[in-house]
Amino acid sequence: RMGRTLVELFYDVISPYSWLGFEALCRYQNIWNIDLRFRPAFLSGIMQQTGNKPPAMLPKRAEYVLKDLKRMAKYYQVPVHVSRNDFERIFATSSLAAMRFVTAVDMTNPQYLEPLSREFWMRFWTQHEDISQPENILAVARQAGLPAELSQKALEMISSPTVKDRLKETTAEAIKHGAFGMPAIVAHYDGEPHLFFGSDRLELLGSVIGEKWLGPVPS
C-alpha cells in the first residue's frame, strides 16, 4: 500500500451534500490510489464555532439549494429526495445522538461504519423519517445489518464521556483543517493536508493528488 494518499471525509448524516461526497468517494476508493477514512463529526458544532449559517436560511439561496440538490442527486445517482418543507424538518432535527451513535460504532465495530452511515442518510433523506430518537437509531442500525447486542451497546455508549469527547475531537480536527461546513474532505498529500469543501470538488481533489476524475459514477 505504498504511496497511497490518505483521504479523510468529515461528515454528518444531516448533510445531504455529505451523502453525495460519501457515495462518490466510496466508488473511487478502489479506482484511485487512496485510503479512504470516514470521520463522523458534528455539523452544528462546526457551524457554531466558525460562525457559519445553513445556506437554506437565506431565501434566495434556499431556492437554489432545492434545485441544486435535485440535479446533484440525479447526476450522482444518490436518492436524496428534497422538497421545500424539508428545510423546516432539517432545522428542527438534531443529529447529535445519531452522530454519537455513529461514533460509538466507529470506535467499537468500524466495519459497520459505511453501511450504517448510508442507512442514516437513507432514512432521513430518502424516507423522510426521524433519526433523532433511540428507537429510530436502533431501526437504522438493524437495517444496516448490525447485530442487536452491538446496537444496544453503542446506544448505551452515546451518553459516555469517551464517545462525547471523540465526537468533539473529530469536529475540532475538521475545524483545525479549515472546515466551516460539510462535507470537509482532507487529502494528506506531499506532506501536508489539503482541504476541499463540498461534494463538487472531487475533480479538483483528483487533480491535486494526481488521480483522474471519471465523473460521479465511474464504470
Catalytic residue (choose from 15, 95, 117, 151): 15
Is 199 known to be catalytic? Answer: no
Please tell me the distance from the alpha carbon of residue 100 to that of residue 163, in angstroms, as a whole number. 6
Distances (CA, A) of 45 to 8, 32, 100, 173: 18, 31, 13, 12
Please tell me the distance from the alpha carbon of residue 106 to that of residue 121, in angstroms, as a whole number. 16
Which residues are annotated as catalytic?
15
